[in-house]
Structure 1
Amino acid sequence: MRTARALFTAAVAAVAAATALSAPASASEGQDSTLELMLVHGDQVRRTTLTCQPHGGTHPNATAACADLQQAHGNFANLPGAKDKSCTMEYNPVDVKALGTWRGAPVEFNRHFGNPCTVNAAMGPVFRF
């Protein structure tokens, strides 16, 4: 568990440094939406990149993830998620992290969930990778 968290912390630091170095050079580039998304579940650390407008990166469903982020105006706390989804009370913790830019503005989001189902219910396709 400690190893996964150490890798997670190192990855976050690397993405933060890369984001700081890639500040937009012009007003037209100020609409950049590039995010590094990470899931820490037990000893597993999974990550993907998501770019929006145009949709891409390594995220398996960039179109749906970008649509949800667009609806939430880039605010991860306001993602529509799957509101009709019910989850068990099983404790199987998952941490999620988003770091990068949304329309040129810096983004840093961290949240702890009780289990993978609650991640999907709250975050929808954004953290489904």
Structure 2
Amino acid sequence: MTTPRALFTATVAAVAAATVLSAPATAADKDTTLELMLVHGDQVRRTTLTCQPHGGTHPDAVAACADLQQAQGNFAKLPGVKDKTCTMEYNPVDAKAMGTWRGVPVEFNRHFGNPCTLNAETGPVFRF
């Protein structure tokens, strides 16, 4: 026979568990999944990047996620490579990103004059 105290304890435990499971995720816990693409002449390269945990097909997800973290998911504010000198050679490359940063939809499209300026401005994020 179930006592009222045992029933009360079980109910409190169930409510506590449901509260923990339904608690809203913090920004750090939300999904970061990005599809990155480079278009350079006739060549198109793609990769996926996930953060927390780091992964996807990106060859250096840890460094790319660290730079995105520093920029708070804003591709226009990526730290890039400091003190990088590039020639003025015109060899255009387009960089694109679509997905979510900590649960918030993001989209980035930018035209760069050459791969060197792409690397200088975006660092490891578009280095694949």
Q: Same fold (TM over 0.5)?
A: yes
Query: Structure 1: which amino acid aligns with 2:63?
Result: A
CA–CA distance in 2 between the matches of 1:62 and 1:54?
9
Cα RMSD, aligned residues only: 1.4
Q: Give the corresponding residue for 1:22.
A: none
1:66 is the counterpart of 2:75: no
**1:28 equivalent among 25, 29, 36:** 25
Q: Give the corresponding residue for 1:122.
A: 121
Q: Give the corresponding residue for 1:43.
A: 42
Q: Give the corresponding residue for 1:79.
A: 78
Q: Give the corresponding residue for 1:113.
A: 112
CA–CA distance in 1 between the matches of 2:24 and 2:32?
14
Gaps of 5+ in 2: 1-22
Query: Structure 2: which amino acid aligns with 1:33?
Result: T
Q: Give the corresponding residue for 1:99.
A: 98
C-alpha deviation, 1:113, in angstroms: 0.2
Query: Structure 2: which amino acid aligns with 1:67?
Result: A
Q: Give the corresponding residue for 1:4.
A: none
Question: Which runs of at least 4 in structure 1 moved beyond 4 Å after TM superposition?
Answer: none
Q: Deviations over 1:64-117 (max 9, x none)?
A: 000000000000000000021110000000000000000000000000000000
CA–CA distance in 1 between the matches of 2:25 and 2:111?
35
TM-score when scaled to structure 1?
0.78
C-alpha deviation, 1:28, in angstroms: 3.5
Identity in percent: 82
